[in-house]
């Protein structure tokens, strides 16, 4: 029997209001773990071609990892997945917080929602008591209000996961929020929740996790703790979270600016980590079992952007800041807070607004389209105004709520060439001409443009030793060179396998990939002492590879092939105009060919070869 | 009399990570579970995280409340539970002004912090310390930490259903 788990999966039929508890399938855990792997398998088996992402046939899963709730550093995470309404392909997103651990303590590892309700409901879980309750009093409330009302109505110990108005209004990049300011932001899964009329989940568990090796548990976890605390990255993480990436990315020309026209921003120092710490920083906040506390709590004390709350991340400094040519830091912080409140992905939000700003700048969008709103680069008031209008689908916000790709299709006039997306999802804060691996990663990621599926940060700067350890000396110096396309196919493939596995055990990419402190063997050891699973590092890598292939098969079902694995022309054909990476383009074809080769995928179709599927135990699919 | 020690935490520094909670339940009960832990962490917005422990009251109402005489103070000033005498009446739970003593769901016996320091050693934010009333007054001259505790006492010490 596998230890350290909740033990059951909840199946909630929203159409009939039926709740079913199923014991965890241990064979499945041995082949896919939990989290991303579990959802990949279950949704592959259950979502057929032609499914409407916002129809009742879509299935929304929320799953914790095998180590979620454990004492491993940063073991806080859960995964949300469904067919994405933004991209029409595999949709997946992850968040930290306390929700996942609380769900485990209540006795559950995952919740699967099928069907759709006509009336708004919320799922309330108190240990073995699980009930669907009327949420008409919560519908229309924002994420913070929802959390307040639920906890006041039950008790303060409840953890909540919810959607804000954006999810209710089926904004295509609506987030699933938890613990107030944690976001499973990408893929528009908040809209799937909204389409099923699930306003929230509240959970309180009074149970316990019995671990496989209680005798040695604390001693082993102490070793992991000590390594994490001693890592030279940890103090910087505490001090800045992700916010100092603005300075670092400016330094290598990788800070998306003006809708990714360039990778440097002249106002970078006004939106930097140091600028935040100088005036707005309140506290470093942690999630469950997190030693690095990268969470920022900030405040703007006066003026139109006044707030106090959890904000920001680097991605927002980039998407609502440099990407929109906006150096007004107070608006960036407030914008992040507002996006949390309404429940939206700040990457796609900023990516869509910056698309509109470039189209405006080029004269392709006018005041007639926008209802008189001025979309000049850096107009902070416009960015804030549009954030609200998108969440509530007011005026021009209603078009932008569809995401940049669909909005460009609707507007026409050649605005599609300013869409900085892959498979209709906006590219995150990595200008790939300054880091080639990120260009490939955005293209191969299962959920459309995404930096986290592979999170290939080892060529960012200074990880030569770790590349040597994880890959071998023969790949140096090219693999460590961010501007070289060589070996990036190999690197992205290996990083994907590892990261997808990390999302299946419920750990954070901080500590596993940056800094690259814990690798396969460490996680194998943790799975042994916590879960009693006897999986080797090699087997864990194979599980990661299996999941990536299954995600690809899922996407093939929705029409994806090599033709879709492409970047906007700007990034592959136009040379980066400015900064330390000036003159660079992304050599995508070269990297992609190497990637398909090491993946065992067909060069023409970009789909898994029969022998690859057989080797991974996926034959017949 | 020995100066009474207790564990205390700074709500402005505590990150809310729950490491102390997990260390405690694992150290004493060999499981992970806040209901099996002798420390609680309460998050209050905006930006406060309170790690909460036995305050080692001088008058120790828990000792007086126990009908079985299961609670006593050692020569070092620590209030301990005698598991042979404790039969989980919960009188101590009701008497504690800080909601710092609970009945362990598995053993049915009262559990409380005995200032062992296991969590203090492992706190990643260095938010925890073992102190005395006099030492705390010295450490926190303006009384910021205690004032925050007092300001939020209703939420921090209320005895909830579970």
Question: Which CATH number applies to B6-157: 3.30.43.10, 1.10.1610.10, 3.30.70.20, 3.10.450.50?
Answer: 3.30.70.20
- Which residues of B fall within a CB distance of 8 Å from A75? none
Handedness of CA A588, A591, A597, A598 (dihedral sign): negative
- The SS3 call for residue A39 is helix
Query: Does residue A498 sit in helix, strand or coil?
Result: helix
A309 contacts A337 by C-beta, under 8 angstroms: yes
Whole-number Cα distances in Å, A599 to A42, A238, A344, A448, A609: 23, 37, 33, 18, 9
Q: What residue spans of A362-417 are helical by DSSP H?
A: 367-370, 380-391, 397-400, 404-411
Sole residue written with tokens 């919740």: A111
Residues A416 and A408 sit within 8 Å (Cβ to Cβ): yes
Q: Tell me the C-alpha distance between B21 and B41, whole Å.
A: 7
Task: Give the separation between CA A569 and CA A395, rounded to whole angstroms.
Answer: 30
Cα(B61)–Cα(B113) distance, rounded to whole angstroms? Answer: 15
Tell me the β-bridge partners of A285.
Answer: A295
Can you tell me the distance from the alpha carbon of A164 to that of A162, in angstroms, rounded to the nearest whole number? 7
- In whole angstroms, give the CA distance from residue A420 to residue A72: 37
DSSP state of A444: H
CATH number of A433-615: 1.10.599.10
Distance of residue B108 Cα from the nearest chain A Cα, in angstroms: 14
Q: Residue A153: what pLDDT?
A: 94
Closest by Cβ to B47, choosing from A70, A282, A291: A282
Distance CA A369, CA A373 (A): 9
Match 């906890």 to its residue by tokens: A151
Contacts of B24 (CB under 8 A, 6+ apart): B37, B38, B39, B113, B118, B119
ipTM: 0.97
What is the Cα–Cα distance from A32 to B79, expressed in whole angstroms? Answer: 48
Please write the tens of the pLDDT for every residue from A373-411.
999 999 999 999 999 999 999 999 999 999 999 999 999
Nearest in space to A316 (alpha carbons), one of A256, A374, A367, A263: A256
> Helix axis angle, A346-361 relative to A380-391, nearest 10°?
120
Q: Which of B18, B42, B105 sits opposite A288 (nearest CB)?
A: B18
Question: What pLDDT is recorded for position B2?
Answer: 63
Cα separation, B36 vs A22, in Å, equals 26
Domain A234-419 maps to which CATH number in 3.50.50.60, 1.20.1260.10, 1.10.3370.10, 1.10.569.10? 1.10.569.10
Angle ∠(A238,A239,A242) on CA atoms, nearest 5: 80
Give the residue from A349, A354, A282 showing the smallest Cα distance to A324: A354
How far is CA B59 from its chain centroid? 16
Nearest CA in chain A to B44: A156
Determine the residue of chain A that is closest to B11 in CA distance: A283
User: Of A288, A278, A274, A267, which Cα lies nearest the Cα of A241?
Assistant: A274
pLDDT of residue A324: 98
Give the pLDDT band of residue B162 (cuts 50, 70, 90).
very low
Query: Cis link prior to A557 (omega < 30° from 0)?
Result: no
Chain A residues whose beta carbon lies within 8 Å of the beta carbon of residue B45: 180, 309
B107 and chain A in contact, CB less than 8 A? no
Residue of chain A minimizing CA distance to B31? A210
Angle, helices B19-29/A214-230, rounded to nearest 10 degrees: 150
Residue A290 contacts B where some CB pair is shorter than 8 Å: yes
Residue A465 has which token pair? Answer: 């030793």
Q: CA–CA separation, A294 vs A554, rounded Å?
A: 33
DSSP state, A576? P
The yes-or-no answer to whether A8-204 and A234-419 have a common fold is no
- H/E element, B56: none
- Which residues in A474-494 are b (16+ Cβ under 10 Å) and which e? ebeebbbbbbbbbbbbbbbbb
Q: Which residues contact A278 (CB under 8 A, 6 or more apart)?
A: none
List CB contacts (< 8 A) between A295 and chain B. Answer: 15
What is the C-alpha separation between A211 and A528, in angstroms, rounded?
9
Give the pLDDT confidence of A85-138 residue by residue, as tens digits.
999 999 999 999 999 999 999 999 999 999 999 999 999 999 999 999 999 999
CATH 2.60.120.10 holds for A8-204: no
Domain ranges in chain A are 8-204, 234-419, 433-615
Give me the phi and psi of A112, to 5 degrees please.
-115, 125
Tokens (6 digits) for A9 = 């999966």
Q: Which residue of chain B is at minimal alpha-carbon distance from A180? A: B45
Chain A (309-348) residues lying within 8 Å, Cβ to Cβ, of chain B: 309
CB-based contact, B124 to chain A, within 8 Å: yes
CB atoms within 10 A of CB A241: 25
Angle, nearest 10°, between helix axes A380-391 and A329-342?
0
What torsion, rounded to 10 degrees, do the Cα atoms A531, A535, A536, A542 define?
A: -120
| Cα–Cα distance for residue pair A544/A541, rounded to 1 Å | 5
Strand order in the sheet with A295-300: A281-285, A295-300, A307-310
For position B160, what pLDDT does the model report? 67
Q: Which residues of A touch B148 (CB under 8 A)?
A: none
Best residue in B14, B124, B152 to probe A by mutation, most A CBs within 10 Å? B124
- How many CB atoms sit inside 10 A of residue A426's CB? 30
A208 touches chain B (CB under 8 A): yes
Contacts of A183 (CB under 8 A, 6+ apart): A93, A95, A175, A176, A177, A340, A343, A345
Alpha helices for A416-568 (secondary structure H): 436-444, 464-470, 488-505, 520-531, 537-557
Which residue in A has a C-alpha nearest to residue B160's C-alpha?
A: A155
Low-confidence ranges of chain A (pLDDT < 70): none
B19 interfacial to chain A (CB closer than 8 Å): yes
Q: Judging by DSSP bridges, how do beta strands A198-204 and A121-126 pair with one another?
A: parallel
Chain B interface test: which of A68, A100, A208, A308 (most B C-beta within 10 Å)? A208
3-state SS, residue B70: coil
Would you list the DSSP string of A166-229? Answer: HHHTT-TTBPEEETTTEEE-GGGHHHHHHHTTEEEEEEE----B--S-HHHHHHHHHHHHHHHH
C-alpha–C-alpha distance, residues A347 and A451, integer Å = 11
Question: What burial letters (b/e) apply to B69-98, b meaning 16+ CB within 10 Å?
Answer: ebbebeeebbbebeeeebeeeebbbebbeb
Q: First and final CA of chain A: distance in angstroms?
A: 29
What are the backbone dihedrals phi and psi of residue A95, each rounded to the nearest 5 degrees, phi first? -150, 160
Distance CA A332, CA A50 (A): 39
Average pLDDT over residues B92-120: 98
Contacts of B105 in chain A (CB under 8 A): 206
Could you report the per-residue pLDDT of B28-64, keeping only the tens digit for each? Answer: 999 999 999 999 999 999 999 999 999 999 999 999 9
**In contact, A113 and A14? CB cutoff 8 Å:** yes
Sort A578 into a burial class: Cβ within 10 Å, 0-12 / 13-18 / 19+: middle
Q: Do A218 and B12 touch (CB under 8 A)?
A: no
Q: What whole-number distance in Å separates Cα of residue A413 and Cα of residue A553?
A: 35
Report the distance separating Cα A453 and Cα A498, nearest Å. 9
Nearest to B17 among A126, A214, A289 (CB): A289
């Amino acid at each position: 029997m596998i230890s350290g788990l909740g033990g059951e999966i909840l199946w909630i039929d929203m159409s009939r209001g039926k709740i079913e508890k199923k014991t965890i399938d241990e064979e499945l855990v041995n082949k896919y773990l939990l989290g991303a792997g579990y959802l990949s398998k279950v949704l592959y088996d259950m979502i057929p071609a032609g499914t409407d992402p916002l129809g009742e046939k879509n299935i929304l899963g929320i799953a914790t990892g095998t180590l979620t709730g454990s004492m491993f550093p940063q073991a806080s995470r859960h995964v949300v997945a469904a067919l994405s309404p933004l991209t029409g392909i595999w949709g997946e997103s992850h968040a930290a917080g306390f929700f996942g651990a609380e769900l485990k303590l209540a006795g559950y590892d995952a919740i699967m929602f099928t069907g759709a309700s006509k009336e708004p409901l919320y799922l309330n879980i108190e240990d073995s008591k699980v009930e669907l309750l009327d949420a008409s009093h919560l519908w229309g409330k924002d994420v913070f209000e929802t959390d307040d009302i639920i906890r006041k109505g039950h008790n303060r110990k409840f953890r909540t996961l919810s959607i804000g108005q954006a999810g209710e209004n089926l904004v295509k990049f609506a987030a699933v929020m938890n613990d107030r300011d944690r976001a499973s932001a990408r893929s528009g899964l908040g809209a799937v929740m909204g389409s099923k009329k699930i306003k929230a989940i509240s959970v309180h568990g009074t149970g316990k996790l019995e671990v496989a090796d209680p005798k040695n548990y604390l001693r082993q976890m102490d070793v992991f703790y000590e390594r994490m605390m001693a890592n030279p990255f940890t103090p910087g993480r505490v001090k800045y979270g992700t916010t100092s990436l603005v300075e670092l990315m400016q330094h290598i020309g990788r800070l998306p600016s003006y809708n990714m026209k360039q990778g440097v921003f002249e106002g970078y120092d006004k939106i930097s980590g140091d600028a935040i710490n100088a005036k707005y920083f309140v506290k470093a906040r942690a999630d469950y079992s997190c030693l690095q506390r990268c969470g920022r709590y900030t405040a703007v004390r006066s003026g139109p952007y006044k707030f106090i709350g959890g904000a920001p991340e680097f991605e927002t400094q980039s998407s609502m800041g440099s990407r929109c040519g906006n150096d007004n830091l107070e608006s960036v912080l407030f914008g992040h807070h507002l996006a949390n409140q309404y429940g939206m992905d700040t990457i796609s939000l900023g990516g869509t607004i910056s698309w509109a700003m470039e189209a405006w700048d080029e004269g392709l969008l006018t005041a007639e389209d926008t209802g008189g709103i001025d979309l000049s680069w850096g107009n902070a008031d416009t960015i804030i105004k549009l954030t609200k209008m998108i969440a509530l689908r007011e005026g021009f916000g209603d078009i932008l709520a569809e995401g940049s790709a669909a909005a460009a299709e609707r507007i026409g006039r050649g605005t599609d060439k300013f869409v900085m997306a892959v498979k209709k999802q906006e590219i995150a804060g990595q200008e790939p001409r300054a880091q080639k691996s990120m260009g490939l990663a955005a293209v191969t990621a299962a959920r459309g443009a995404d930096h986290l599926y592979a999170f290939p940060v080892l060529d960012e700067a200074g990880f030569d030793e770790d590349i040597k350890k994880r890959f071998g000396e023969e790949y140096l110096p090219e693999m460590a060179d961010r501007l070289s396309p060589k070996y990036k196919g190999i690197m992205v493939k290996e990083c994907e396998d590892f990261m997808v596995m990390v999302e299946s055990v419920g750990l954070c990419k901080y500590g596993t990939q940056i800094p690259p402190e814990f690798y396969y063997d460490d996680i194998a050891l943790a799975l042994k002492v916590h879960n009693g699973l006897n999986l080797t590092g090699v087997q864990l890598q194979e599980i990661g590879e299996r999941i990536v292939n299954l995600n690809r098969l899922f996407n093939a079902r929705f029409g994806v092939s090599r033709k879709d694995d492409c970047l906007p022309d700007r990034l592959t054909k136009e040379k980066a105009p400015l900064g330390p990476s000036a003159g660079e383009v992304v050599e995508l074809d070269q990297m992609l060919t190497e990637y398909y080769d090491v993946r065992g995928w067909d060069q023409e179709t970009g789909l898994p070869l029969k022998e690859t599927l057989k080797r991974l135990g996926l034959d017949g699919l | 009399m020995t100066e009474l020690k207790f564990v205390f935490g700074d709500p402005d520094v505590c990150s809310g990570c729950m490491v102390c909670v997990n260390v405690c339940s694992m150290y004493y009960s060999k499981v992970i579970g806040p209901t099996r832990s002798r420390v609680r962490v309460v998050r209050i917005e905006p930006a406060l995280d309170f790690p909460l422990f036995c305050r080692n009251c001088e008058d120790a109402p828990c000792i007086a409340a126990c009908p079985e005489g299961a609670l006593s103070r050692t020569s070092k000033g620590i209030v301990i539970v005698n598991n042979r005498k404790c039969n989980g009446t919960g009188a101590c739970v009701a008497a504690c002004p800080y909601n710092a003593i609970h009945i362990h769901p598995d053993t049915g016996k009262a559990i409380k912090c005995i200032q062992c320091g296991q969590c203090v050693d492992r706190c990643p934010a260095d938010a925890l310390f073992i102190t005395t009333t006099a030492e705390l007054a010295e450490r926190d001259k303006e009384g910021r930490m205690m004032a925050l505790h007092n300001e939020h006492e209703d939420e921090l010490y209320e005895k909830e259903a579970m």
